[in-house]
A and B are shown apart, each in its own frame.
Chain A
Amino acid sequence: MLSVSEMLKMRDKLRKWREENYRNSEQIVDVGEELLNEHASKLGDDIWIIYEQVMIAALDCSRDDLAWTFRFDAILNDANKLYDSILQDDPTNTAARKRKISILRAQGKSSEAIRELNEYLEQFVGDQEAWHELSELYINEHDYAKAAFCLEELMMTNPHNHLYCEQYAEVKYTQGGLENLELARKYFAQALKLNNRNMRALFGLYMSASHIAASPKVSAKVKKDNMKYGAWAASQISRAYQMAGRGKKENKCSVKAVEEMLESMQITMS
């Protein structure tokens, strides 16, 4: 039996997981099951959204007793017909359209999913989730130019989000070529400006700067500048690892490992 304060703590935890899109389904099922079985009356209006959250988590863990559903693939065709009928009644129902696209993706028909998602985005241009999903689909298809375009849309509407900057820089880095590498380095730097604790961006800055410096087509000044940026990034990385390892016994070994790794990542002209 839980006390009221524990119930409040669990409810707040569920709310945090819901708002930050955590998909830790096992824990949600554990916490949610206990909450719903014992304190359903005290939750008030929150209960419906908690039901929804626990149901999705239960589907993830295939807890059919909890989710009251059948096996997923057996009902895919019925689901499709159901969504079509919903859309006939109400063509602006965005949730139904997104579920249809997910069905296509689950069936492996990614090019059709991409086409449908493009049509959806032509009508509902402001949907951040859909833009990000489209960029992920393009990355899976290795169509990096279009993925970069989707991420550019996201960056335009969320200029303060360092993660979009960083993902865009990673896509540009993957595309390769000198201009893309320079662009990647600039966006990694922008991500670091927005959040100086972003380790991935720091590593990305180091890699793109060393890559540019090692390229044979650059002028001497560009090479020197990039080696300076790379050296700065490397010093920041080792400092971050040293700060993180403070007070722990294995600090010396891990710092040495980081330095060796940075040296091995140096791109040398062969």
Chain B
Amino acid sequence: MASSFWKGVVGVGLFALAHAAFSAAQHRSYMRLTEKENETLPIDIVLQTLLSFVITCYGIVNISGEFKDMDASSELKNKTFDTLRNHPSFYLFNHRGRVLFCPPEQEPSTPSAQALPSNPLRLRKLENYH
């Protein structure tokens, strides 16, 4: 979520660009009317165009989020084996998670599920993720 400041910057930049374009068109028609077609565009319109362009670009870059590295392998440096072999389209559900994770009121007749102490590995992982 980009902050509204940068969105405002992009808006101001675009508006200034449109304003400069309008002024240039008006100046052109004024030149045509007064038959002085050899005069160049006034310098303030040129400056306004360039400045608003730079402001718009800078604002858009700040809106669009984090940059990624060019090096393709650097993104993978943090990937581990834990998640490599999880393929969501091939997930199976007939594993012991059915007994391990089930809420206690559903299976009162299986003492092994109740006797399971709070799994220390799971708790440690919870701390890492939360």
A residues near B (Cβ < 8 Å) are: 8, 13, 20-27, 56, 59-64, 72-73, 94-95, 98-99, 101-102, 105-106, 129-130, 132-133, 136, 160-163, 167, 194-195, 197, 200
Docked complex Cα distance between A130 and B73 (Å): 22
Of all chain A residues, which has the CB nearest B130?
A27
B residues near A (Cβ < 8 Å) are: 1, 72-73, 76-77, 79-95, 97-99, 101-103, 106, 122, 125-126, 129-130
Q: Which residues of A contact B93 (CB under 8 A)?
A: 59-60, 72, 106
CB pair B92–A102 under 8 Å, yes or no, is: yes
CB pair A200–B91 under 8 Å, yes or no, is: no
Q: Which residues of B contact A60 (CB under 8 A)?
A: 91, 93, 95, 97, 101
Number of A-B contacts defined by CB within 8 Å: 96
Q: Which residues of B contact A102 (CB under 8 A)?
A: 89-92
Docked complex Cα distance between A160 and B76 (Å): 8
Docked complex Cα distance between A153 and B94 (Å): 30
Q: Which residues of A contact B80 (CB under 8 A)?
A: 163
CB pair B101–A61 under 8 Å, yes or no, is: yes
CB pair A195–B101 under 8 Å, yes or no, is: no
Residue contacts A-B, CB under 8 angstroms, 7 given? A25-B101, A27-B129, A56-B88, A59-B93, A61-B102, A62-B99, A106-B93
CB pair A105–B92 under 8 Å, yes or no, is: yes
Docked complex Cα distance between A60 and B96 (Å): 9
CB pair A133–B101 under 8 Å, yes or no, is: no
> Are A161 and B76 CB-contacts (below 8 A) given A56-B91, A129-B89, A133-B90?
yes
> Are A73 and B94 CB-contacts (below 8 A) given A62-B101, A63-B103?
yes
A35–chain B nearest beta-carbon distance, Å = 14
CB pair A163–B76 under 8 Å, yes or no, is: yes
